[in-house]
Amino acid sequence: MNDNKLKAKDFITVGIFTAIIFAVEFLCGMLGLIHPYIVASYVIMIPLVGAIPMMLFYTKIEKFGMLTLMSILIAIIMFVAGMGWLGAPLIIISGVVADLIAKKGGYKSFKSTVISYGVFCLWICANYFPVIVTAKSYRQSLLDGGYSAEYCDNLFRAINSKTIAFLLILCFVFGMIGAFLGKAVVKKHFEKAGIV
Amino acid sequence: MIEIKNVNFSYKGSLDAGLHDVSLQIHDGETVLLCGASGCGKTTILRLINGLIPHYYKGELSGSVNVSGKRIEQTELYELASIVGTVFQNPRSQFFSVDTDGEITFGTENIGIPPAEILRRKSDVTKEFALEPLLDKSLFALSGGEKQKIACASVSALMPEIMLLDEPSSNLDWNAIGELAEVIRKWKAQGKTIVISEHRLWYLKDLVDRVIFLENGVILHEWSRQEFAAMSASELSALGLRPVTLEEQYIREFSGDLAALHSAEPAVMCDNDILIRDLYFTYHPPKYVLWKKKLCAEHSADYTLAVPELRLPHASVIGLIGRNGAGKSTFLRCLCGLEKDCPVQMVLDGETAFGKRILKKRYMVMQDVNHQLFTDSVEAEVLLSMPDESPEKAQKLIDELGLSGYEQTHPMALSGGQKQRVAICSALAADAEILLFDEPTSGLDHKHMTMVAALLKSLAKRGKTVIVSTHDPELISLCCDRILCLEKGRVRYLRKV
Amino acid sequence: MRPITLDPRTKLAMIFGVSFIVMVNAVTPLEWAIRIAITMIPILLMISEGKYAAAFRFSLLYGIALLLLKCFLSSESTGFLSAMLLGYCGIIAQFMPAMITAWYVIRTTKIGEFMSAMQKMHVPDGIAVSLAVVMRFFPTLKEEYSAISDAMRMRGIAFGGGKVSKMIEYRMIPLLFSCVSIGEELSAAAVTRGLGAPMKRTSPYELRLKAADWIIFGIFALFVGLFVAVKYLR
């Protein structure tokens, strides 16, 4: 029996945590309806809030593949939920890289967990892909379609192909900050209660 | 044939709940009941038989377990799937699918049975357990009893020769337990070997061939069906077991002909009674265009729950009974102010409360108490409820409820009964006057149930009004002053015990 | 009307087509016409399933958003309110087609069917199993969350005493505790029923592409082709 292969229990764990992460993403997405700027602040909100379940998830990872699998699931769900497939490569690549980094730390070292989670958080930027990839024609079409220049500027000042690099960095940084925060919560609750 | 020989087991990272030198033989076609207090090792024995120990739960294991000629240690779980089937305690967490059809066929899909055979088995179990009306439904819309039936069917579809049931009746009402007993009877007739771990004994007394009593991981007694049936209530309760006949007597009384009760004297009313008015609720609100219609007496005939007026005595324990689906939980939720559409008003000490104000002064201990513990220590949990955080008062409450020594422990690290007491603590800290309990004793053993009963009584002594919904006749006989019976969302009667 | 049942693979193709057309922006009236036409397909399918109310609500919302965009707002309209309104209408007009399709697919596909379709498309069992767990867990999360928020209201801590961090902590912690314990029990119940067996999973659902599937495929291919042609081959 190969102990490095994922087992049924691991698949279920991944499924459960993916559902939770997606619920976090969904709730934050709801806030995004209020104003375009909030859409840009996903890169801060989701890494921080998502860090709590993710740090708990990291304590349950022992083998390679769980983070990768999670990113694949996120990509599939994003696609089915009508968010397009453009972000899929970014989601899956950040998942695989995060998995490799965590593996290097033997899934135990906190240092590699922090970096790994920071990388994993890059998937959040996939939310912006539909906007960025089609940015130019999108802006034109918004204007042609009767949008005021003001709204377009608002939208694209925050999100465009130049700021995307900045947003990616923000994701990474806030992912790392979130990791510390999430770790603190895991210690405060789950370790104290003796379930990890 | 199941053969357990000199087994010692201890869970990894935990000192209790292991087994010590347990040997047990169960023959083909036998029905065996495992009983004893919580943590006595009943569940551990079942886990040995279905292979969850050592393949899923890790720990130290010595001795040998053989099931149908296979050594469990050397047999993969999936190989055991078609030999041993297990029905678990919690209907909420044991299903894998969202729809009933998928759940029934889940096991057969896993082990790669050809599609035609899967369909044949599905139609077989559907016929066998009369599941026709449940097919093609969402599992989330089913009652606990229905979920448990689907769980039995799903296991049955794998056609194992051994059936294990781990406290299957914990979350069921009397009707659903009757149906469960029917399922077990069918399995018995098919010659299956059945092992049941259970606290509620009455529904099994005519089904089992042998009863095994465990304490602290050791087999202490073994009785045949006749010996077991002959045991008196006091003998059973000395062993910490629930009575075998009491429930049946109550079931006859509650669900049977109630003619005798119409003569029951109307309870005498006093001035400080709690008056409840206009408690209406419906799951099928009338269609509206712009704003909801307020629920009112005029249309109450169509409502799921309608209690125009009800007086409850102050400072007493009131047992709320009724079948599943009679509206007990909804009644409690309305009283608590959790159902926004319910226009209920409450008169307490001459003050009328309605709307959001209802939420104050009332507190419900939920069936799953895990949902209402938020902080990282018992003390913080109690302080959180206090309008003015006073550590002395908190400490006093913690001591009174027997939680001293646990002030800094994480609530989630406590046992189920302790968690319940933490929740009660925070209710008292919030100065709640009316305490509501939603089935506080489901899944508890005899000892813990009597503890809950004593606790409820002491709350009434403090001047709190306690309303407790339950399927446990023993709890009613131990602590309730009044019985409030709901039927189809209407008050059937309120009487003294 | 008899519901038109589609193969899950057809449904995935529908999502693919719709999100493609939504992604590439429509400018000319013809492009808009294609986009609206393609949005009508899931709405019609919903009606055939008897989900009239949902179909009505979706089309109403979509219609209003389109009307507002086309008739009442122009590039002259400035100011915060109209920008907001525009923003909403823009989002609805842009993403509603994809959302309707997703809603239709999620509502009408059983998990068993979906897994069987994934198998036919040679997706590994691990992904299929995890995905099934995700789907099963959404309603569970909803149940648990509503119980927790009831408990919070009872305690008067729904707003965490005004602190955002507490608001999140009080919601997240009990939820995670529940999820972990449900997960444990779920795994135990699943492995005793053979989950994780090395043999290929089977499925009682027999998937075959029927006439309806080919018709939908055809319509979508036509629309997507037309759209590309109009857009790029001009």
> Can you tell me which residue has the tokens 């992912």?
A175
Q: Which residues pair with B2 in a beta bridge?
A: B26, B67
Residues B183 and B68 in one domain: yes
Given a cut of 90, is residue B474 above it in pLDDT?
A: no
Give me the percent of chain B exceeding a pLDDT of 90.
38
Query: How do the domains of chain C map onto residue ranges?
Result: 8-110+208-232, 121-191
- Distances in Å between the alpha carbon of B463 and those of A162, C96, C130? 68, 57, 52
Mean pLDDT of A120-144: 70
Tens of pLDDT, residues B351-400: 777 766 767 778 899 988 999 999 999 999 999 888 888 889 899 989 98
B chain contacts of residue C187, beta-carbon cutoff 8 Å: 56
Given a cut of 90, is residue C68 above it in pLDDT?
A: no
* Inter-chain residue contact B97 with C112, CB threshold 8 Å: yes
pLDDT score at B259 = 40
Cα B205 from Cα C223, distance rounded (Å)? 68
What is the band of A160 on the pLDDT scale with cuts at 50, 70, 90? low
Tens of pLDDT, residues B105-141: 999 998 989 999 999 999 999 998 899 999 988 898 8
Q: Is A135 helix (H, G, I), strand (E, B) or coil?
A: helix
pLDDT score at A143 = 61
Given a cut of 70, is residue C77 above it in pLDDT?
A: no
- Return the half-sphere exposure (C-beta side, CA atoms, 13 A cut-off) of residue C174: 25
Token readout for B475 is 């709890």
* Inter-chain residue contact A189 with B413, CB threshold 8 Å: no
What is the band of A1 on the pLDDT scale with cuts at 50, 70, 90? very low
Separation in Å, CA of B314 to nearest CA in chain A: 38
CB-neighbour burial class of residue B41 (10 A; exposed 0-12, middle 13-18, buried 19+): buried
Cα B110 from Cα B471, distance rounded (Å)? 37
Mean pLDDT of B42-50: 93
Q: Which residues pair with B212 in a beta bridge?
A: B34, B222
DSSP state of B174: H
Token readout for B43 is 């569940």
Given a cut of 60, is residue B222 above it in pLDDT?
A: yes
Among residues B226, B244, B262, the one where a domain terminates is B244
pLDDT score at B260 = 44
| Helix (H) / strand (E) containing B23 | strand B19-26
Cα A104 from Cα B159, distance rounded (Å)? 45
Given a cut of 60, is residue B265 above it in pLDDT?
A: no
pLDDT score at B255 = 57
Among residues B189, B209, B244, the one where a domain terminates is B244
Range of the domain at B414: 314-340+352-496
Given a cut of 60, is residue C43 above it in pLDDT?
A: yes
> Can you tell me which residue has the tokens 């508890």?
B444
Domain for residue B291, yes or no?
Answer: no
Of C154, C189, C201, the CB nearest to B364: C154
Could you count the other beta carbons within 10 Å of the beta carbon of residue B433? 18
Given a cut of 80, is residue A2 above it in pLDDT?
A: no
Among residues B244, B278, B298, the one where a domain terminates is B244
* Mutate which: C140, C181, C193, vs B, most B CBs within 10 A: C193
Is this complex's ipTM strictly greater than 0.90?
no
Of the listed ranges A85-94, A126-135, A161-170, A176-185, the one predicted with least confidence: A126-135
Secondary structure (H, E, C), B419-455: HHHHHHHHHHHCCCCEEEEECCCCCCCHHHHHHHHHH
Domain for residue B303, yes or no?
Answer: no
pLDDT score at C124 = 87
Given a cut of 80, is residue A146 above it in pLDDT?
A: no
Of B311, B301, B327, B289, nearest to B465 (Cα)? B311
B443 vs B218, higher pLDDT: B218
Tens of pLDDT, residues C129-174: 898 899 889 889 999 999 999 999 888 887 877 788 888 899 999 9
Token readout for A179 is 């990791």
CB-neighbour burial class of residue A156 (10 A; exposed 0-12, middle 13-18, buried 19+): buried
* Inter-chain residue contact B81 with C174, CB threshold 8 Å: no
**Residues whose CB falls within 8 Å of the CB of residue B312, separated by 6 or more in sequence, listed in order:** B273, B274, B276, B318, B465, B467, B482, B484, B494
C chain contacts of residue B84, beta-carbon cutoff 8 Å: 192
User: Which segment, A108-122, B224-238, B465-479, is predicted with the most confidence on average?
Assistant: A108-122
Residues B65 and B209 in one domain: yes
- Distances in Å between the alpha carbon of B30 and those of A126, B2, B161, B164, B223? 59, 10, 11, 12, 14
Of the listed ranges A75-84, B188-197, B433-442, C69-78, the one predicted with least confidence: C69-78
pLDDT score at B262 = 46
CB-neighbour burial class of residue C27 (10 A; exposed 0-12, middle 13-18, buried 19+): middle
Q: What is the DSSP string of A75-104?
A: HHHHIIIII-STTHHHHHHHHHHHHHHHHH
Cα B231 from Cα B33, distance rounded (Å)? 15
A142 vs B465, higher pLDDT: B465
Separation in Å, CA of A68 to nearest CA in chain B: 23
Domain for residue B139, yes or no?
Answer: yes
Tens of pLDDT, residues B142-151: 888 899 999 9
Domain for residue B169, yes or no?
Answer: yes
pLDDT score at C115 = 81
Residue B109 belongs to domain with CATH number: 3.40.50.300
Residue of chain A minimizing CA distance to C32: A145
Mean pLDDT of A165-169: 86
Could you count the other beta carbons within 10 Å of the beta carbon of residue B229? 14
Question: Rounded mean pLDDT of chain B?
Answer: 86
Q: Which amino acid is at B426?
A: S
Cα B178 from Cα B150, distance rounded (Å)? 15
